[in-house]
Structure 1
Amino acid sequence: MNSVLRGLTWTTCLVYLDDIVIYTKGGIEQHVIELACVLECLAAAGLTLKLKKCVFATERMEYLGHELSSEGVRPLERLISAVRDFPQPQDAVEVKRFVHLAGYYRRFIEGFGSIMAPMTKLLRKDVPWEWTVAQQTAFEQVKAVLITKPLLIYPNFALPFRLVTDA
């Protein structure tokens, strides 16, 4: 799909496997033009779409566990509730499940790796199981951040901005 839409990805559309999201910075007229470009590329490659799976000209949509809108990107409410309702882990297997579940939304939690360090420590083979205040604090802090439905806004390339990574 990336080769079919080469030149349009990251400027007009995003592609993940067979999912295509077409986004427009202008109005509906510009959106129709960009939609036509994508459809022409797909038709030229002999590809078709299933109309019942398509959504056109929407300001909000769900995509890969996220809500995309003109404001930015948020975690989906129904998936946040899985984190919110996760019971306190009783063993390393449950810790691992929580770390992976919450980790899907790590980009929304500043310092995720540092916050989760007390919990991920329990996943080491040489560390005996002991749920302490440090693990409980990390567990509650991650839940607290996610239930606020944090928003990642899109960068404005006309303005300076700071890139922060969690390595």
Structure 2
Amino acid sequence: MQKTVGDIPGILNIRDDILCYGEDTASHNRALNNVLQRFNDCGLTLNKSKCQFNLDEVKFFGFIFSKDGVKQDPGKADIIQSLEAPKSFDEIRSLVSMVAFSARFIPGFSSINAPLRKLTEKNAKWQWGHDEEKALEKLRTALSKDITLQYYNKQYETRIYTDAGPNGLGAMLAQRKSGQDSSWRPILFVSRSLTKVEQRYSQIEKEALGVRWACERLYLLVPNLKL
């Protein structure tokens, strides 16, 4: 499928699913017409019962896309909310992998997730105590929030907000439409854990490291950066 439609602008293809999108109705319809024409040229047919057209909101591989932005499918959060505390290394690895999928929606994800991530390290000793339970509860709380990430727009005013904790660094890329909207809206949350050496830094050194790391991590999206 990727070989068939992968070069068409305005489409996203994963496996056998194709999502057509656009900034407005005209660009959306142009992408859709190009896909349908390509299928016709290749002698391919579609199952009408499996097609949806001209939607204001669409679920696509764990995400919900709309004119307002992208948010996580509540069904993904519900699965994690219903999970019991892991009782083995296999279960903790499965949990960590599952919540990592949602990291872009969770401020300070790496710091929150640190106690759980440690249990996935080589030669880790199994334990499930207060710190691990607290981390799981924080993740559940974060996932229960209905956070919508706005689409990036290179014309909007852009800022990066950073934070540094004992175990990790975090940053939020935010934008607002200059002159009309005074509220800053999240585009993306990013984070990473601190190495053992970095954990020994003073707080001001961690904060400085966080600023540098965030700028490097997001440099493609911050041509007119304000800190």
CA apart distance, 1:21? 0.6
Structure 1: runs of 5+ lacking an equivalent: none
3-state SS of 1:3 partner: helix
* Amino acid across the alignment from 1:147: S
3-state SS of 1:68 partner: strand
CA apart distance, 1:166? 3.4
Equivalent-residue separation in structure 1 for 2:32 and 2:57 (angstroms): 17
CA apart distance, 1:18? 1.7
3-state SS of 1:98 partner: helix
Q: 1:34 aligns with which of 31, 34, 38?
A: 31
Structure 2 match to 1:2: 2
Tell me: CA distance 1:79–1:165, structure 2 relative to 1, closer, same or farther (3 Å).
Answer: closer
Structure 2: runs of 5+ lacking an equivalent: 161-172, 174-188, 193-227
3-state SS of 1:166 partner: strand
Tell me: CA distance 1:66–1:138, structure 2 relative to 1, closer, same or farther (3 Å).
Answer: same
CA apart distance, 1:46? 2.4
Tell me: CA distance 1:41–1:93, structure 2 relative to 1, closer, same or farther (3 Å).
Answer: same
The Cα offsets for residues 4-62 of structure 1, whole Å up to 9 and x where unpaired, read as 334424xx1111122111112123x5533332122112222222211111000010111
Structure 2 match to 1:13: 11
Tell me: CA distance 1:120–1:33, structure 2 relative to 1, closer, same or farther (3 Å).
Answer: closer
Q: What's the TM-score once normalised by structure 1's chain length? A: 0.85
Q: Which has the higher contact order (CA 8 A, sep 6+)?
A: 1
Larger strand fraction of residues: 2
CA apart distance, 1:132? 2.6
Q: What's the TM-score once normalised by structure 2's chain length? A: 0.65
CA apart distance, 1:143? 0.8
Segment of structure 1 superposing worse, 33-42 or 146-155:
33-42
Q: Is the contact between residue 21 and residue 27 of structure 2 (CA under 8 Å) also seen in structure 1? A: no
The Cα offsets for residues 48-104 of structure 1, whole Å up to 9 and x where unpaired, read as 211111000010111101111111111112221111111122332322222122122
* Amino acid across the alignment from 1:18: D
Structure 2 match to 1:79: 76
| Matched-pair identity in % | 27
Taking the TM superposition and a 5 Å limit, the aligned residue runs for 1:21-100 are 21-27=19-25, 29-100=26-97
